[in-house]
Structure 1
Amino acid sequence: MSEQPESNAQPTAPAHGAPAQGAPGQGAPAGRPARKRMVDLDPSGQVTQREPDRGGRQFMNYSFFKLDPAFRRLPHAEREEIKAEFMAAADAWQADAPAAKGLIQRSYSLVGVRGDVDFMIWRMAFDVRDFQDAQARLNRTRLMGYLTQPYTYTSMNKRSQYVNRVEGSGHGLEILPGQGRYLFIYPFIKTRAWYDLTPHARQGMMDEHIYASEPFKGVRINTSYSYGIDDQEFVVSFDSDYPQEFVDLVHRLRYTEASNYTLQDTPMFTCVKKDLQETLDDLA
């Protein structure tokens, strides 16, 4: 994938941007009217000494699980009992919490899609400690004795500095996940050279990138931030009903100049949305 947007839940595709034609980061692509957009000249707040924001934000946790084949050798009745225990523990995380906490949980199967993971649970909360509670509940189940977690990503939503908020687009501080039958996920890191660019150059790249991805209306992006709280800088996920559209989107974005500023955008995960019962039944 190319340079990732700093936005959340964009309908269509990522706003990662390549520079417009002409001088780097200036102008607009041929055939496209120039957008009047305010450029954030101090995105980090360093120059203006912007005060820290301690307000509530939505955090994201993507936990990937891999099953030990030994579980499949257990008697059928025992397997079903163990799966039911796990499902009850997972469901109780939301059921036991007051609605005001805003806990969200979605499950996805990766059986037959990747060899190193079997399923993923996507959680959202406004307190990172809620993720610990969720995992602690699972750790007390017998199924966790047969599961490893090859990948876990934690991130946080915040408003984009590059994309003007559009009502319903998810460019604000919260998202509603799981709108598509598929979810495509990867961690993302920019090169250091990206941060050396001028704000106008970065904005130009983002504008052109948005333009390149606009035709892909069947893909919805959720970009979240991991600066300082995990190894990657972003976690990017895409809701869609159309894997073929997502493949074409990624292919097109390889040709944007912003892709020169990608340091890492793997591993990539193709996740199929299923309820937890179906997800666990895929295991054995």
Structure 2
Amino acid sequence: MWSVFRVDRPLGDEARHRVADEVSELFAELAGKDVVVRGTYDVAGLRADADLMIWWHAETPEALQEAYSRLRRTALGRHLAPVWSQMALHRPAEFNRSHIPAFLADEEPRRFVCVYPFVRSYEWYLLPDEERRDMLKEHGMQARPYPDVRANTVASFGLGDYEWMLAFEADELHRIVDLMRDLRASRARRHVREEIPFYTGTRKAVAELVADLP
């Protein structure tokens, strides 16, 4: 799940280290319940409507809902207003069933992330399997020059307004930009109906993130 917030009430001179410590303690407690916070991200400036994003995952949606609610009840949470949140679920890929998202393969998170939803065209699911498989293979081949950009594609049918969620992770932001640009030339692009909003940010420790908030 990706949850995006904006600062609704500035923290001002409040003891930010105590605010950050409370959130860090919450995350540590959640880890004991198998709720993993993959990263907290600074999205300020990259978006005019948001300041931070949390990427967390767990075995059950209820665990994530509880984590979300508990964050809202912290001192930091009382200064935040929700902007956007989307849950997704790992299911076998359409044709490459061996594909495992980077976050489930225990890969280390990278410095930058770009998160966005997408919805396929109405025609996509009616095309012959072989045609769809061929387009997705081409799409994958175009991404091969970017092995340092790690992909996370997860299903969100019925969990919100979208069909899929995608998160690209990389240590250099320009690599995500270049990959996204190059993938525009694939035939599968003709079958994307929607792919906004984009939330891109820098991964930061909680204390650093809180220190930078208004």
Question: Is the pair's TM-score, using the shorter chain for normalization, greater than 0.5?
Answer: yes
TM superposition shift of 1:164: 5.1
What is the alpha-carbon root mean square deviation over aligned residues?
Answer: 2.2
Residue matched to 1:137: 70
Deviation above 3 Å: which 4+ runs of structure 1?
Answer: 175-178
Task: For 1:120 and 1:97, locate their aligned partners in 2 and report how far apart those are by CA, in whole Å.
Answer: 18
Residue matched to 2:15: 80
Structural mapping, 1:1-284, within 5 Å: 61-68=1-8, 70-72=9-11, 74=12, 76=13, 79-80=14-15, 84-85=18-19, 87-89=21-23, 91-95=25-29, 98=32, 101-105=33-37, 106-163=39-96, 165=98, 170=100, 174-176=104-106, 179-284=109-214
C-alpha deviations, 1:53-76, integer Å up to 9, x for none? xxxxxxxx10001002x425x4x2
Task: For 2:173 and 2:53, locate their aligned partners in 1 and report how far apart those are by CA, in whole Å.
Answer: 18
Residue matched to 1:30: none
Check conservation: 2:20, 2:206, Cα contact below 8 A: no
Check conservation: 2:115, 2:200, Cα contact below 8 A: yes
Task: For 1:254 and 1:277, locate their aligned partners in 2 and report how far apart those are by CA, in whole Å.
Answer: 37
Task: For 1:143 and 1:172, locate their aligned partners in 2 and report how far apart those are by CA, in whole Å.
Answer: 29
User: What TM-score, normalized by structure 2, do the two folds share?
Assistant: 0.90
TM superposition shift of 1:127: 1.0
1:181 is aligned with what amino acid?
R
Of all paired residues, the percent bearing the same amino acid is: 26
Unaligned runs of 5+ in 1: 1-60
Task: For 1:204 and 1:258, locate their aligned partners in 2 and report how far apart those are by CA, in whole Å.
Answer: 9
Task: For 2:91 and 2:103, locate their aligned partners in 1 and report how far apart those are by CA, in whole Å.
Answer: 5
SS at match of 2:53: strand
The more displaced of 241-250 and 147-156 is 241-250
Larger Rg: 1
Task: For 1:171 and 1:222, locate their aligned partners in 2 and report how far apart those are by CA, in whole Å.
Answer: 4
Unaligned runs of 5+ in 2: none
Task: For 2:123 and 2:85, locate their aligned partners in 1 and report how far apart those are by CA, in whole Å.
Answer: 27
- Higher RCO, Cα 8 Å, sep 6+: 1
Distance 1:164 1:133, change over 3 A: closer
TM superposition shift of 1:251: 1.2
